[in-house]
Amino acid sequence: MSTFEFVFSLLSLLLGLSMAEVLGGVARTVEARGRAPVSWLNMLLAVLMIADIVSFWGAAWFMRDRVEFSYVVLIGSTLFASAYYVAAYLVFPRTVAPEREKDDHFYTVRGPVIGIMLAANLTQLGLFVRLLGWDYYWPEGLDILVKAAVVWLLMAACIFVRGPRLTLATMAVATSAYVAGLFG
């Protein structure tokens, strides 16, 4: 077993659990559809979270030949993926309450969830710069940084924007930009 496979197995386990948490929330929401209204804000947050998890899995694979084993790498990967699990756990409420305003949960957790996602993205950028150097991004990779910065700014806006329509529009644009970025 290579060093990468050893570290990646733990990272994959934790990211897989994160994915299961988000998908479980989607399933609970669909199951309760007749008893409680669907929060499209939570659904968009779930899609954003899934896209981010997939991007991290891909980034880890991309870095497979550049990472050497150390306890710093192992513990750092564990902390990174564990934070992601916490964020994934928070995306949907644990119980469906018909009397609850459908978007209350989103407004309660958007700061911590998106904040964890942004911190993870910036940590990943720092790791990439440390392992690849700024030369990787300049000038050929500059478009990657610009696209990422736009998505991160949109994600940050989702934390602070007010009003249901503006919040929904901002979440839709941020999620669409992130997903579109995965495909090119």
Q: What's the CA angle centered on 21, arms 18 and 27, to 5 degrees?
A: 145
Is pLDDT larger for residue 143 or for residue 155? 155
Q: Is the pLDDT of residue 181 over 70?
A: yes
The sign one gets for the Cα dihedral 184, 147, 106, 13 is positive
pLDDT at 1: 79
Q: Tens digit of pLDDT for each residue in 77-136? A: 899 899 999 999 999 998 876 666 789 999 999 999 999 999 999 999 998 888 888 887
Q: Tens digit of pLDDT for each residue in 35-46? A: 778 889 999 999
Q: What value does the mean pLDDT of the chain take?
A: 90
* Percent of the chain topping pLDDT 90: 55
Q: What's the CA angle centered on 28, arms 183 and 11, to 5 degrees?
A: 50
pTM of the model: 0.91
Asked which of 64-73, 154-163, 165-174 is least confident by mean pLDDT, the reply is 64-73
* Count: domains in the chain: 1
Distance CA 77, CA 10 (A): 8
Q: Report which of 173, 178, 167, 176 is spatially closest to residue 42, judged by C-alpha positions.
A: 167
Q: What's the CA angle centered on 111, arms 34 and 58, to 5 degrees?
A: 85
Domain housing 155: 3-182
Is pLDDT larger for residue 80 or for residue 23? 23
Distance CA 41, CA 32 (A): 16
* Percent of the chain topping pLDDT 70: 98
